[in-house]
Amino acid sequence: MSLDIWSRDDIRNVILAANAASADTAMRAVDLSEQPPEAQERLTSYRAGYEAALLTIATAFGIPLGSRGRLRSPGVVVPGARLSVSYRAEKRLAHFLQVREEMTE
């Protein structure tokens, strides 16, 4: 089994992605314009509980995501080290493909 190492930025992005997916799914599942007021209250309660669970995970990892009891999304952060690795990997792949093409000619 491999050992994966996750940075705080990775974990934060996962939490924010889970929150965005849940919000979108909940809104699609319930058309509030055609539902009684209780449906709005249930959805609001569900989303508040879901966000509280995600904030608990964020707090456990020391990731500041809360603002007035709600998740706030400061934007997705891609660490600079990841970008440079991706850039180097892309260049190495391009070089590999070029060498391979030259060998087959």
- pTM for the whole thing? 0.56
**Predicted pLDDT at 82:** 58
Nearest residue to 16 (alpha-carbon basis) of 60, 83, 63: 63
Nearest residue to 82 (alpha-carbon basis) of 1, 2, 10, 3: 10
**Predicted pLDDT at 78:** 59
Residue 87 CA, distance from chain mean position: 22
Along the 105 residues of the chain, how does pLDDT read in single tens digits?
566 788 888 888 888 888 888 877 777 666 656 677 777 788 888 888 888 898 889 888 888 776 665 666 655 555 655 555 566 777 777 888 888 777 776
| In the chain, domain spans | 1-74, 77-105
**Predicted pLDDT at 62:** 85
**Predicted pLDDT at 97:** 81
